[in-house]
Amino acid sequence: MSNWTEETLHADFRIRLRASKVLYDSKTDHQRLVLIENDTFGRVLLLDDVVQTTERDEFIYHEMLSHVPVLAHGAVRRVLIIGGGDGGMLEEMLKHETIEAVDQVEIDESVIDFSKTYLSSICGDAFADPRTRVVIADGAAYVADCAARYDVIVIDSTDPIGPGAALFTETFYGNCKRCLNDGGVLVTQNGVPFLQAAELTQTLAALKDLFEDATCYLATIPTYVGGPMAFGWASDNPTLRHIDDAELARRYESSGVATEYYNPAVHVAAFALPGYIEAMIR
């Protein structure tokens, strides 16, 4: 590998990150896993040449995909995370002391082992928390057969290529809905709409067929370039997306969770969509 590594996610657009050091480069049974050191972003994890997370900006992604559904719901006890082998989503969820159990389903056990060794700054001790149950399995197969029920399900997937492709189908989302408790929330990773419109439009089309309330919300993450990133939102309880500002602030304060990006005002504003994104999901 040269001093520069190039992300190959987009056909007509490339980003490059300088690798001051290559810390790891190996193929697992499912994908190529590379870890570089970058002077701006710290340790950067790439799967099949696509940036997954960085030490410097991971907090934005993980805070917005965890605290938005948890605080909107207000009474989350059980959470399912599909994907998220870096452990950042798990670590963020476990900051809520009221959450009693988090099941994490990851297809590639080597990613979890790798993260414990090389990305402890992101996952902390989350995998050792007694509330955590790790299941090494295909996420689509897990929800198809799952008897458990959850208040929040987070799809912390890669993009719809390789192992992640099965996590973007209507069948999969329908099985996720079956695994939700009444009034539960499903949130999904849906890429950068400006460059990955199909990823969002296809997901929202499926979610709107399945749920009473389906939309997306946004956050800007520096290494996911091309504009704000979209997170799908789906629930059969439409009131959760319109929670009173004062109540949201009360829940945030009482949670005791410290955040660097998320706050109640950002939570509310994240659902305000630019015209080009509104047009995509109409």
Q: Where are the alpha helices (DSSP H) in the chain?
A: 58-73, 88-93, 109-118, 120-123, 139-145, 170-178, 197-210, 245-255, 264-269, 275-281
Locate 233 and state its tokens. 């939102």
60 near 219, Cβ under 8 Å?
yes
Place of tokens 């969770």: 257
Is 156 a catalytic site residue?
yes
Tokens found for residue 228: 């704000």
Candidates 214, 205, 140, 216; CA nearest to 178 is 140
Going from the C-alpha of 97 to that of each of 25, 71, 257, 266, the distances in angstroms are: 36, 12, 9, 22
> Alpha-carbon torsion 36, 57, 46, 5, what sign?
negative
Q: What is the 3-state secondary structure (H, E, C) of 176-243?
A: HHHCEEEEEEEEEECCCCCCCHHHHHHHHHHHHHHCCEEEEEEECCCCCCCCCEEEEEEECCHHHHHC
Report which DSSP code applies to 24.
Answer: E
Catalytic residue among 48, 108, 151, 156: 156
Q: Give me the active site residues, please.
A: 156
